[in-house]
Amino acid sequence: MYRNKNVKFLTLVLIFTMLFSVIPAYAQESDEPKGSLVLIGGALETDNASIYNKFVELGGGIGKIKIAIIPAASSTPNSSGDSIAKDFISYGVPAESIKVFPLAVADDEDTENVDELTWAKNGFSEEIAKEISTYNAVFFTGGDQLLIIKALVDEKGIDGTVLTEIRNIYKNGGVLAGTSAGTAIMTDPMIGSGTSIGALTQGVTYKDNWGVVGDNRVFLTKGLGFMPNAISDQHFLKRGRIGRLIVALFDQKINIGYGIDENTALVYKNKEVEVIGASGVIVVDISKAAKDPKNKNFSAAGIKLHYLESGDMFNTVTTQATVNKDKPTTSGIEYYTGNSLTTNILGIDTIKKVIADDLIDNTAKQAVGISFDMENGSSIANGTKFIFRKGEGTEGFWGKLNGIGSYSAVNVYLDIVPIKVRIISERVYRPR
C-alpha cells in the first residue's frame, strides 16, 4: 500500500515536471518580430551609402534581398517609387529584385498613360498580397503619411491583406524602411501634422487640421505601429519639431520619442536602436518628467534628452544611450565658456547647436532659448522658453568620424516654460 502511494506520487511529480518544463518554454516564446526597421528622417540623399547599404545588409545582402517599394504616400507615386528603385540599383541590387507595387490613392498627373486612382483598392487585393509575401524587404516612400494609412487600412481601422503580409515579412525576419511619411507611420499613434509652437501654445487635435488657417495644433492619429511604445518624428532638427513630439508624448502617456533628422536613419532591431547617416537623432524620455496641470499652455520639467549621431546606440529596455567609442568625452575640457539667449530655438538646426555648443561643450550649467508666434500684427505673442541644463549623468562627446566633427550628448535635461512676448517699437523714422 505504501509502495502504491509512492508510485502514484512519483507519477504525479513526473507529469507535473513534464508540464512545467513545457509551459515556460511556450510562455517565454516572444512575440517580438525577428525583423528590423530603418526609420529615415526624410530628404534621403542618393549618395548616403550608410543608409542604403544598411538596408540591403539587413535584407540579406545583394544576392538575397527582394525589395517591395510602397509609393502610397507620394502625390507622384510612379516617379517617387522609380527614383528609389534606381537608387538601390546603383548600390548593386539587381533590377529584377525590386518592384514598385501599384499601391496609392492619389493620381500622378505627370503619368498620362497611368491612372493611379485605379490602384486605390489594391491594398486589399489577394493577388498583390500573395506576391508581396515573396519579398523580404519593404520600403515606404515619403509624402503624406495619411495616404499610406488610407491605402493599406480600411475605414474601420482593420489591416488590408497587403498590410497583413507586410507585418508577416517583418515578423519573420524581413526589413521595413520608410523615409519622411514612411517613418511617421512606423509608430502608433503617429504625428499627422502641426508645428512645435502650435503644439506648445494650442495643444493637440485628433482631427486632420492640415491646411486649416490658424490651427497649428499637433494632429495625432493612427499609425501602423511596427515600432512599439514610442512616437517618431522626422525632418526633426531642420524643422524644429521637438515641441510637437514632446507634447504628443505627454498627451499619449508614451515615455520615449525619436526625433530623426534629415538624411539620417534610426535602425531598430532586437530592442536596440542605432543611429546612422549624416546628422542626428534626439531621443526624448519623459518617464520621470512632470507636466504642470495648472498652466493653459504647455509647461513641463525634467524631460531627459539624448542627442545621438552615427554609431551611437540606445537600448529601449534600459533606456540607456551608448556613444560611439571614437568620440571622447568633453567633460573637463569644454571648448566654450558662456552663452547667450537663443531667440529662435525652433529654427533650422538650432536645437543641435544649443545642446552642443551652449551646453555640453561649454562650462555653462544651462542654455536658454525661446520661440514665439507673432501673428496678425499683434504686439503680444504666446511663446515658450526652453531651459536646457546639466544634471545627473550629463556628458558630452566629440570626435572626428570620417574626417567630420561629430557631437553626442547623454542625459541632458529640459524644462519648458510658457511665456508672453511683447514687441515694443520706438518711433519709426521716415525721412521727408
List pLDDT tens digits, range 122-147.
999 999 999 999 999 999 999 999 99
Let me know: does 292 contact 286? Beta carbons within 8 Å. Answer: no
Q: Encode pLDDT of 244-260 as tens digits.
A: 999 999 999 999 999 99
The set of cell numbers assigned to 313 is 546606440
E strand segments, 278-392? 281-285, 290-291, 300-308, 313-315, 320-322, 366-372, 380-389
Q: How many CA atoms lie within 13 A of 93 on its CB side?
A: 27
Q: Name the residue with cell 523615409.
A: 179
E strand segments, 292-356? 300-308, 313-315, 320-322
Which pLDDT score is estimated for 130?
Answer: 98
Q: In whole angstroms, give the CA distance from residue 412 to residue 355.
A: 8
The alpha carbon dihedral of 227, 231, 236, 239 has a sign of positive
Let me know: does 307 contact 326? Beta carbons within 8 Å. Answer: no
Q: Name the residue with cell 517618431.
A: 232
The answer for residues whose C-beta is within 8 angstroms of residue 70's C-beta and 6 or more apart is 81, 101, 103, 138, 139, 140, 141, 148, 151, 166, 182
What own/partner pairs with CB < 8 Å and gap ≥ 24 does 42-47 have?
A: 42/142, 42/179, 42/180, 42/183, 42/234, 42/235, 42/262, 42/263, 43/180, 43/235, 43/238, 43/262, 43/263, 44/179, 44/262, 44/263, 45/263, 45/278, 46/87, 46/90
The answer for residues whose C-beta is within 8 angstroms of residue 30's C-beta and 6 or more apart is none
Cα torsion for 349, 353, 356, 360, to the nearest 10°?
A: -130
Cβ-based neighbour number of residue 377 at 10 Å: 5
Let me know: does 418 contact 201? Beta carbons within 8 Å. Answer: yes
The CATH topology of domain 36-282 is: Rossmann fold (3.40.50)
Which pLDDT score is estimated for 174?
Answer: 98
Q: In whole angstroms, give the CA distance from residue 185 to residue 238.
A: 20
What's the length of the chain?
Answer: 432
Sites in the chain below the pLDDT cut of 70 = 1-30, 375-377
Which pLDDT score is estimated for 376?
Answer: 60
Which pLDDT score is estimated for 97?
Answer: 98
Q: In whole angstroms, give the CA distance from residue 409 to residue 359.
A: 10
CA distances from 244 to 2, 36, 184, 190, 295 (A): 74, 26, 13, 11, 17
Q: In whole angstroms, give the CA distance from residue 49 to residue 65.
A: 16
**Domain ranges, ordered by start, for the chain:** 36-282
